[in-house]
C-alpha cells in the first residue's frame, strides 16, 4: 500500500462539559496500516476516536483522501468511518444476522430482511471474518459477552468503510479471540483500510500495530513504530511501568512487568 497519508487530522481539540480532553492532536495515517492508540485511563483515547468519526463536537480539521469531513453529510461520513464503541451492548433480541446487517444502513439497506445482493454478500463476509456464522439465527441477547463483542465487530466490518475505528475491541475476549480479532483487523488494514485500535494491551499493540499512537492527558506524545513508541522511556514516563522485552517469530514481545 502507498505510504501517502489518507486519514489526516489537524489540530483536533475536544471539550466535554467545558473541560478540554483532547489538545491539538495532529496525525497522518496511510491506508494499509494498523495504528494502536494507547495511553493511561482518562488520557482521552475514546474522545479522540469519536472526534475522528465526527461523533462529538471538535475543533480542528479531519481530512480523508483529500476530502474535508466537515463538509460531508452524516450518512456519507458513516460510509467512510466504521466505528466500534467501547463496551458495545445490544438490548434488542434480534437475530445475529440482523444485527450485522445494520452495518449496511449507511449504504441504504434499511431492512435487514430485504438485503440486495451486494449488501447480503458484505454481511456474509463480515460474519465469516468475525467467526459468528455459527449463531447467525440466534438472538443476540442470548449470547455471551464475548460472542456479542464479535457480533458488534462483524457489524462494524459489514460497513466496509475505508477507515475502521475500534475502541477496545478485545477487552472481553478470551486469548484465542483476542489474537484472532487483532489479526483480522490487521488483515483489514492490509486490504486497504486505515485501522485505529484502542487497546490497553501493550503486548498486542507491539505485535500487531504498524504504528503506535501514545496519548497522555489529551496530548499526542508518541507516534512511531512499536519499538520506539513503546520504548523503555515512554513506558516509564507515560505508563509508569517497566517491561520485559524479547522477540518471537520475528515479532516484538513487550510484557509490562513492574511499576516504576
Q: Is residue 207 a contact partner of residue 251, using CB atoms and an 8 Å limit?
A: yes
- Does residue 168 fall inside a structural domain? yes
Report the interhelical angle of 175-190 vs 145-158 (nearest 10°). 10
- Cell numbers placing 14: 475536544
- Does residue 103 fall inside a structural domain? no
pLDDT in tens, the chain (260 residues): 457 899 999 999 999 999 999 999 999 999 999 999 999 999 999 999 999 999 999 999 999 999 999 888 888 999 999 999 987 667 789 999 999 999 999 999 989 888 999 999 999 999 999 999 999 999 999 998 889 889 999 999 999 999 999 999 998 788 998 999 999 999 999 999 999 999 999 999 999 999 999 999 999 999 999 999 999 999 999 999 999 999 999 888 999 999 99
Q: The domain that contains 229 carries what CATH number?
A: 3.40.50.300
Q: Range of 49's domain?
A: 5-87+162-259
- Dist CA 140 CA 152 (whole Å): 10
pLDDT score at 100: 96
- The SS3 of residue 205 is helix
pLDDT score at 112: 87
pLDDT score at 58: 95
- Cell numbers placing 30: 496511510
Which residues are registered as beta bridge partners of 81? 163
Q: Is the dihedral of CA 174, 175, 178, 180 positive or negative?
A: negative
Residue 42 region, left (φ>0) first, then alpha (ψ -120 to 50), else beta? left
Farthest CA pair distance, the chain: 57
- Nearest alpha-carbon partner for 33 in 206, 196, 246, 202: 196
Q: How far apart are the first and last CA of the chain?
A: 39
Tally of domains in the chain: 1
Contact partners, residue 61, CB within 8 Å, separation at least 6: 9, 10, 11, 12, 68, 69, 70
> Each residue of 204-213: pLDDT tens digit?
999 999 999 9
> Each residue of 45-74: pLDDT tens digit?
999 999 999 999 999 999 999 999 988 888
Length of the chain: 260
pLDDT score at 1: 44
- Does residue 97 fall inside a structural domain? no
- Nearest alpha-carbon partner for 199 in 56, 34, 32, 67: 34
pTM tops 0.75, yes or no: yes
- Does residue 232 fall inside a structural domain? yes
pLDDT score at 62: 97
- Does residue 130 fall inside a structural domain? no
pLDDT score at 89: 65
- Does residue 60 fall inside a structural domain? yes
- Does residue 194 fall inside a structural domain? yes
- Does residue 100 fall inside a structural domain? no
Amino acid at each position: 500500500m502507498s505510504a501517502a497519508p489518507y486519514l489526516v487530522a489537524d489540530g483536533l481539540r475536544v471539550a466535554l462539559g467545558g473541560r478540554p480532553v483532547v489538545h491539538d492532536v495532529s496525525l497522518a495515517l496511510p491506508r494499509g496500516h494498523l495504528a494502536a492508540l494507547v495511553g493511561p485511563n482518562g488520557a482521552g483515547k475514546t474522545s479522540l476516536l469519536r472526534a475522528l468519526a465526527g461523533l462529538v463536537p471538535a475543533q480542528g480539521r479531519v481530512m480523508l483522501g483529500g476530502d474535508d469531513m466537515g463538509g460531508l453529510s452524516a450518512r456519507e461520513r458513516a460510509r467512510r468511518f466504521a466505528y466500534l464503541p467501547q463496551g458495545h451492548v445490544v438490548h434488542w433480541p434480534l437475530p445475529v444476522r440482523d444485527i450485522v446487517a445494520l452495518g449496511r444502513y449507511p449504504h441504504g439497506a434499511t431492512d435487514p430482511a430485504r438485503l440486495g445482493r451486494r449488501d447480503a454478500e458484505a454481511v456474509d463476509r463480515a460474519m465469516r471474518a468475525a467467526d459468528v456464522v455459527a449463531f447467525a439465527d440466534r438472538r443476540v441477547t442470548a449470547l455471551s459477552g464475548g460472542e456479542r463483542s464479535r457480533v458488534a465487530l462483524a457489524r462494524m466490518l459489514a460497513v466496509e468503510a475505508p477507515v475502521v475505528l475500534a475502541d477496545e475491541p478485545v477487552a472481553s475476549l478470551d486469548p484465542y479471540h483476542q489474537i484472532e480479532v487483532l489479526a483480522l483487523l490487521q488483515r483489514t488494514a492490509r486490504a486497504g483500510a486505515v485501522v485505529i485500535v484502542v487497546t490497553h494491551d501493550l503486548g498486542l499493540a507491539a505485535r500487531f500495530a504498524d504504528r503506535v499512537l501514545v496519548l497522555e492527558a489529551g496530548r499526542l506524545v508518541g507516534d512511531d513504530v512499536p519499538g520506539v513508541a513503546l520504548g523503555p522511556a515512554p513506558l516509564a514516563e507515560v505508563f509508569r511501568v517497566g517491561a520485559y522485552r524479547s522477540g518471537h517469530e520475528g515479532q516484538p514481545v513487550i510484557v509490562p512487568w513492574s511499576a516504576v
